[in-house]
Amino acid sequence: MLFRRQVEQVIEQQRLRRSKIGVVHSDLDWWDLSLIGVGAVIGAGFFLGTALSIQRAGLSILLAYIAGGLIAFKVFSSLAEMSTRDPQEGSFRVYARKAFGPQIGFTSGWMYWLAGVLIMSTEVAALAIFSQFWFPTVPLWVFAAIYSALALAINLLGVNDFGKIESLFGVIKVSALIIFIIFGLLLAFGIISLTRPPASDLGDLKQWFPAGLAGTWSALIFVLFSYGGIEVMGILSHELKHYKDIGKSGKVMLGSLTAVYSLALLFIFLMVPAYAISTAESPFVTALSAFGFGFADSLLNIIIISAAFSTMVGALYGVSNVLVSLAQDLDAPLLMAWRNNRGVPVAAISLTGLGLLFAIIMSFLLPNTVYEYLATAAGVMLILNWIIILLSNIKLHPHHAFRHSSININLTSGAFSSYLTVALIVLTIAGATIHLSERVGVLFSLTMALVIFISAHIRGLGGATAELTAARKPFPDK
């Protein structure tokens, strides 16, 4: 009886939540959504993850980032189409539930939470590696523990207006990349000279594919990982003032992001040889050291650490709220939805914080490969969710197109391109099994995804979950 009353309370909270959200005025301009997307995507996955990509693929990583941008745009467009034609709260797992039933919705939600936990763990591992630039003798796990404690404290204290702080650091991240590109342009036009001649030869085919096509193939997982965060744009797309601006916003964001990524990598190769890049520090710091500009590399490292830390704190907040949302839909224990008098979801943050503990333990046991293991696992879990997004849109597209035929969203090119993108993502996962160090992460994520899927069936979803699903109402048409 007590559980039944709790379920009824949660269902009522869900209805109230939906009714409040339904009257929110959509006031995002297309460029607002583009900036939100850029801030959500750029993180340690690029500032450090590129080192892994370069080690595998050499100069061909430039081509891989262009391909990754196209894949990311297809995923964004699929989610944007669903969220615009049928706006729902609760991220893309709502569409997975509608398309394939409650088991897949449950699986998608928990996979998204686990992907967020793994991404957060890569951020703290990257922060520890960045900090060792100045203190190479301090163990990695010590820095990981310090950053984890600070992130947990900030979230548990319920710091106000952190979203504004995160937006500020988002601008800092983009500015750092732009400044780096400006340095590269000055180098290209001979205004700045290096203290030693660059060794990367863009005309040498061997430097483009040092490990053959297999090397580029195995690096794709880290490339797609660098685009993680595009889901935020798709989820928020229904908040735009005008539906017709969705395509423009996505194209500008992903086009700009791909251009910035590619140019930044190009100038890294103009500054230092590809073989000089290592995961001991950010490739951007390694490249700047070639200029001999005093503290330029340290200054950039400070900027990267500040931005990465803000991203980690924001990720802990966001991932914890995913768990809260799961609990409100009865896909997680109701305790996870509880908030204290400051509005802080203590239980959800505490459980999510175990991911940070996992990163600390990994940093202690495997300091030399911790980032590679975590990045691979996070990347695989992330793009498994991308597959669910694509397949959900394929299944729901005819229904949405019929119900909202007046809404013209020219983002996707039909089911064929979606199936092609799914195939490319599957090939990316397969490529991640080439190297043993990546294979561990792949097996971990696939095993966890299978465990979640089996748990959904054993749990026998129905009853309250079905009632919650029935209570969901689309937002009013604009």
Q: What is the mean pLDDT of residues 343-372?
A: 86
Structural domain contains residue 193: yes
Q: Name the DSSP class of 289.
A: G
Select, from the ranges 122-126, 313-317, 368-372, the one with the highest average predicted confidence (pLDDT). 122-126
Structural domain contains residue 16: no
Which is more confident, 148 or 88?
A: 148
pLDDT digits (tens, 9 = 90+) for 452-470: 999 988 876 444 444 444 4
pLDDT digits (tens, 9 = 90+) for 23-67: 344 566 777 777 777 777 787 778 888 888 998 898 999 999 999
Percentage of the residues of the chain whose pLDDT score is greater than 70: 79
| Mean pLDDT of all residues belonging to the chain | 79
Residue 400: is its pLDDT beyond 60?
A: no
Entry pTM: 0.83
Residue 384: is its pLDDT beyond 90?
A: yes
Q: Name the DSSP class of 310.
A: H
Band of pLDDT at residue 307, cut at 50, 70 and 90? confident
Structural domain contains residue 315: yes
Phi/psi of residue 455, each to 5°? -60, -40
Predicted confidence at residue 442, as pLDDT, reads: 94
Structural domain contains residue 211: yes
Phi/psi of residue 28, each to 5°? -85, 130
Specify the range with the lowest mean pLDDT, choosing from 224-233, 261-270, 384-393: 224-233
Domain span at residue 337 reads 26-471
Structural domain contains residue 165: yes
Specify the range with the lowest mean pLDDT, choosing from 112-116, 264-268, 471-475: 471-475
What is the helix (H) or strand (E) element at residue 262, kind and residue range?
Answer: helix 246-271
Q: Which two tokens stand for residue 166?
A: 């995160």
Q: Side chain identity at 13, as an amino acid letter?
A: Q
Q: How far apart are CA 125 and CA 345, in angstroms?
A: 25
Structural domain contains residue 344: yes
Domain total of the chain: 1
Which is more confident, 176 or 88?
A: 176
Predicted confidence at residue 123, as pLDDT, reads: 87
Instruction: Give yes or no for a contact between 282 and 51, defined as CB atoms under 8 angstroms apart.
Output: yes
Q: What is the mean pLDDT of residues 180-206?
A: 73
The CATH number for 203's domain is: 1.20.1740.10
Percentage of the residues of the chain whose pLDDT score is greater than 90: 19
Structural domain contains residue 341: yes
pLDDT digits (tens, 9 = 90+) for 261-303: 888 898 888 888 888 888 888 888 888 777 766 677 788 888 8
Predicted confidence at residue 356, as pLDDT, reads: 87
Structural domain contains residue 19: no
Q: What is the mean pLDDT of residues 411-428?
A: 85
Q: How far apart are CA 319 and CA 231, in angstroms?
A: 13
